[in-house]
Chains A and B, each alone.
Chain A
Amino acid sequence: MHEVSLANALIELVREQAVAAKASRVTRLVLEIGTLSHVDAHALRFAVDVAARGGPAEGAAVDILEPEGTAYCLDCETSVAIAARGALCPHCGGAKLLVQGGDEMRLKEMEVV
């Protein structure tokens, strides 16, 4: 359900950025939602669609990039790709992994007119 809060925060950010860019309308949003973030891309897309209504981004296309998770293994001391938190190290099977990336929730860019 916090996808709604996120969508509202996103649309507020979009509004500000649209003003800064002297844009009359926002036609596309490009988001980066890491696979390790606690966000469901499908739910977010729906929430953004609703939150955008009545504003400059109404009807905008939403592209969601989902960067993979990366972590540092404390056992074999290498950086590895992981599909989920709690995954074991694909090299050594170690369980002590510090997540380094893949939890981002960003507005990367937007297409405006």
Chain B
Amino acid sequence: MCSTCGCGQGEKRVEDLHHDHAHDHPHAHAHEHDGDDGHWHEHPHTHADGTTHAHPHGHDHAHADDHHHGHEPGAARLVTIERDILAKNDAIAAENRHALQAAKTLSLNLVSSPGSGKTALLVETLKRIGGEYPASVIEGDQETTADADRIRATGAPAIQINTGKGCHLDADMVRTGMSRLGLPSNGILFIENVGNLVCPAGFDLGEAHKVVIVSVTEGEDKPLKYSGMFAASSLMVVTKTDLLPHLDFDVDRLIDNARRINPTIGVLKLSAKSGDGMDHWMHWLETARALRLATD
């Protein structure tokens, strides 16, 4: 079946005059017959070489007709749709993006495995922002308000979204979260996704960037195993680097693997605990925020 125009085997499309691309035409034609008449049809086509022609051909139908084809009610027909399955999510994400743009809010979707240190990084980040500009957090977890409580303890506004059995946030949940929390105008909205390196990759929330967080207690081959997430992220933050002296973890190999999946991904290395590398992260945030403020 041709994905450009929707014609193809079984397709009951009558208007067929604007075909100017190459493909096979095994068409099925559906006709309504009232009796055993012989009759003529013409089917004009334009082929890849630009020639248009028609094939007049006669059919002799000797049906003793008590059945129908094609457009008759009750008959099967093929309908061309060609829509993304997540079109609805993507449409809501576009609305979110528009609202965030209008409020000059930078939004970041933080994604990682469970236990990578996302919340610890956020807590340390919010302390360092220290009210210099507005920052708030949407927390996604299957259960509990523990993470939102940790964030609120820093003084930053936060709202918890419990996804229950769901393994990721979707755009509609974030829309609800945004409307209840209010947007930090001229500031940053952090969206901490459910700890899961698979599913959140496919669900656009309306964020400016996905930021994938990997701790040094995980494997260097994570980017290869969970490639979708690394492909979708603008930045990889390597956390818990204070533990490196105790581990056989090759940071360069992790970075090579990430760049194999996504040649343009940015990389930062830090420890929220020791503070090493935090300055670079804060600088990245301020630069991304400045870009948001400077552009429509």
| Residue numbers in B under 8 Å from A17 (CB-CB) | 79, 81, 83
> CA of A109 to CA of B261 in the docked complex: distance in angstroms?
32
Known: A27-B76, A95-B260. A12 touches B88 (CB 8 A): yes
| Residue numbers in A under 8 Å from B78 (CB-CB) | 109-112
Chain A nearest CB, measured from B83 CB (Å): 5
Q: Which of B76, B88, B199 contacts A113 (CB 8 A)?
A: B76
Residue A13 at the B interface, CB < 8 A? yes
Q: Which of A27, A37, A96, A106 contacts B259 (CB 8 A)?
A: A96
Chain B 250-264 near chain A by CB (<8 Å), digits 1 or 0: 000000110111010
Residue A91 at the B interface, CB < 8 A? no
Contact of A107 with B261 in the complex, beta carbons under 8 Å: no
List which B224-250 residues lie within 8 A (CB) of chain A.
Answer: 224, 227-228, 231
Residue A86 at the B interface, CB < 8 A? yes
Chain A 31-43 near chain B by CB (<8 Å), digits 1 or 0: 1000011110000
| Residue numbers in B under 8 Å from A112 (CB-CB) | 76-79
| Residue numbers in A under 8 Å from B1 (CB-CB) | 30, 108-109
| Residue numbers in A under 8 Å from B88 (CB-CB) | 9, 12-13
Contact of B263 with A98 in the complex, beta carbons under 8 Å: yes
Q: Which of A12, A38, A84, A111 contacts B201 (CB 8 A)?
A: A38
Contact of B74 with A95 in the complex, beta carbons under 8 Å: no
| Residue numbers in B under 8 Å from A2 (CB-CB) | 167-168, 198-199, 202-203
Known: A1-B199, A2-B167, A96-B259. A108 touches B82 (CB 8 A): yes
Interface of A: prevailing SS: mixed
List which B49-98 residues lie within 8 A (CB) of chain A.
Answer: 74-89
Contact of A111 with B223 in the complex, beta carbons under 8 Å: no
Chain A nearest CB, measured from B238 CB (Å): 18
Contact of B202 with A105 in the complex, beta carbons under 8 Å: yes
| Residue numbers in B under 8 Å from A85 (CB-CB) | 227-228, 231, 261
Residue B219 at the A interface, CB < 8 A? no
Tally A residues with Cβ within 8 Å of B.
Answer: 38
Chain B 135-176 near chain A by CB (<8 Å), digits 1 or 0: 000000000000000000000000000000111101000000
Contact of B202 with A109 in the complex, beta carbons under 8 Å: no
Contact of A109 with B83 in the complex, beta carbons under 8 Å: no
| Residue numbers in B under 8 Å from A5 (CB-CB) | 166, 168, 170, 199, 203
Residue A57 at the B interface, CB < 8 A? no
Chain A nearest CB, measured from B9 CB (Å): 11
Chain A nearest CB, measured from B220 CB (Å): 13
| Residue numbers in A under 8 Å from B203 (CB-CB) | 2, 5
> CA of A12 to CA of B168 in the docked complex: distance in angstroms?
19
| Residue numbers in B under 8 Å from A108 (CB-CB) | 1, 3, 80-82
- Residues of chain B touching chain A, judged by Cβ–Cβ distance below 8 Å, are 1, 3, 6, 10, 74-89, 165-168, 170, 198-199, 201-203, 223-224, 227-228, 231, 256-257, 259-261, 263
- Residues of chain A touching chain B, judged by Cβ–Cβ distance below 8 Å, are 1-2, 5-6, 9-10, 12-13, 17, 21, 23, 27, 30-31, 36-39, 74, 84-86, 95-99, 103-113
